[in-house]
Structure 1
Amino acid sequence: MTQDGRLAVIAGSGMLPVYVAEAARAAGENPFILPLKNEADQRWDGFDTAVIGVGDMSGLSALIRRHGIKRVVMSGGVKKRPNFNEIHVNLRFLMKLPFAVRTLLSGGDDAVLKMVIQLIESQGCRVVGAHEIAPQLLAEIGPQGTARPNDDDQRDIAAAMKAADALGRLDVGQGAVSVGGRIVALEGVEGTDRMLQRVAELRAEGRISSRRRGVLVKLCKPQQDIRADLPTIGQSTVEHAARAGLAGIAVEAGRALLLQRQETLAMADAAGVFVSGIELQHDSTL
């Protein structure tokens, strides 16, 4: 255990929680895993675990005290917001309940995540980002594999960046697709893979030019707390981008996660799809 107290990994779906937990263990920590009920989909053999409901703040508070947890990392996907009967509170949470209910009802994903961070930290913990535990997952500047964007791709990257930035300011999604300088898809609550499936269908229907390939760009929302929900790509993203006929994927260097780097880049190279890290200027307060 570090002098900062034990680390807990709140685990949603996908492989990211596994990579975070393994990185923590490699650094000499003994992470406590909190798989989310009806969301987590990985095995946790060899780790201390306790399944917890998405809205069970009372149970989370008890586990924090019992296991000396002082740091929490939120990782993995969560498809469903908790129903009111799934929210269990303690006294520290009770005063914030009206704020939490309003956010769950009307807030976007970023607003909800910020609310969850506040609630966790009200239990005496510090929330840290997955990239702080596993910095090796961060995308770097420039092409990550052998395929590289050409001049047409760079124009699509610029167009999709503007669209993704505007979309993020509305707290809607993180991704946009540009084909020939035209924005053809914006990510909503369905997520990146479903958006790319839409692009593939539109391409097959002739609604998108078959002569131009296009690019997916994923960015952090401008107002996003980067301790949660960093843009993430992996083999599934590459597979769907290739099926949609795209030339490549661009993500924000240092503010996006590339999962299974070796396997993902090998798949991208085989498909002729570039994966590139782009650099943006941000307010230093983020």
Structure 2
Amino acid sequence: MGEDAPVAKRDGLASVAGRDGLAIVAGRGELPRLLAEECVRRGRAYRVVVFEGVELPWLTGHPSIAASFEKPGRLFAALHAAGLAAVTFAGGLVRPSIRPLRFDLKMLCLAPRLLRGIRSGDDATLRLVAAIFEAEGFRIEAAQEILPELPATPGVHSRAMPSEADRADAGRAAAIVAAMGQVDVGQGAVVAGGICIGLESIQGTDAMLAFVAATDRAVRPKAKGVLFKGPKPSQDRRMDFPAIGPGTFENAAKAGLAGVVVEAGGVMILDHAATVAAADAHGLFLWAREP
């Protein structure tokens, strides 16, 4: 088989894709697994697209397609050969180190436009990637369309309740995230006693919480503080929908926070029962705040 031929891997599941087949471009986290399991539950044809360097411990038993960032032509050919009509993007992906000597013909055509986009913010990059897939005839399907129960419903989901001070910190953090979103930076902030002590950037929420945990208590306000997470104002939610899970509360507890606030309808709660259990186990609140 030639270097640029489509490569599809089938692990014991039916491999005949229908017209509504779904390609799951998978990154870190639980969301890609949940999407694949939902396809199995519905009997929907699908493939998990696995880029080089991405480790998916749950992949065994799921049909997959190996992909390289430098060879989009090969990927598009594999998706068309599998009869897939839609693409969804799920989980975190690290920006790749592009190796020009490995470019296929499609990448040679896309490279000037794509490389300019990669130097922009995340949202601009994802919009460009969506446009490229759409130009190849694929429909972009949002993860929340497939799993509509995941976006947070309004209200307090935990036993612990936010105080008035916590609510004020949440409002301040939400304003900070909205301001960062205007320049396409991050989706989260930590505020304590009205003072911002952590901002999310390309490293992600867990890295921000680790930074807060490592911050000298002597320079932190006396208030515990809250993590707020929400989408950027103009974010393409088909491509990037913020999410939290049980691990968010493990890290928030290590950072000494009082709780986690998410924008209702704008953030997904992955494994709701386990996430609420983690919040309750640490005595933290989980509040889905109306935007």
Name the TM-score, length of structure 1 as normaliser: 0.90
Q: 1:49 aligns with which of 34, 43, 64?
A: 64
Structure 1 residue 126, shift from structure 2 partner: 0.5
Q: Any conservation in 1 of the 2:193–2:225 contact (CA below 8 Å)?
A: yes
Q: What are the equivalent positions in structure 2 for 1:1-286 lying under 5 Å apart?
A: 4-85=19-100, 88-91=103-106, 95-104=109-118, 106-202=119-215, 204-209=216-221, 211-280=222-291
Structure 2 residues without counterparts, runs of 5 or longer: 1-15
Q: Any conservation in 2 of the 1:55–1:82 contact (CA below 8 Å)?
A: no
* 1:183-229 Cα deviation digits (max 9, x unpaired): 11111111111111111111x441102x3111111111111100122
Change (3 A) 1:128 1:17: same
| CA distance in structure 2 between the partners assigned to 1:55 and 1:71 by the alignment | 21
3-state DSSP class of the match of 2:280? helix
| CA distance in structure 2 between the partners assigned to 1:188 and 1:119 by the alignment | 25
| CA distance in structure 2 between the partners assigned to 1:2 and 1:53 by the alignment | 22
3-state DSSP class of the match of 1:277? strand
| CA distance in structure 2 between the partners assigned to 1:42 and 1:122 by the alignment | 32
CA RMSD of aligned residues (A): 1.9
Q: Any conservation in 1 of the 2:20–2:44 contact (CA below 8 Å)?
A: no
Aligned length: 276
Change (3 A) 1:55 1:141: farther
Structure 1 residue 22, shift from structure 2 partner: 0.9
Structure 1 residue 45, shift from structure 2 partner: 2.3
Q: Any conservation in 1 of the 2:18–2:45 contact (CA below 8 Å)?
A: no
Identity percentage of aligned residues: 35
Q: Any conservation in 2 of the 1:24–1:134 contact (CA below 8 Å)?
A: no
| CA distance in structure 2 between the partners assigned to 1:79 and 1:227 by the alignment | 19
| CA distance in structure 1 between the partners assigned to 2:238 and 2:232 by the alignment | 12
Name the TM-score, length of structure 2 as normaliser: 0.89
Change (3 A) 1:47 1:38: same
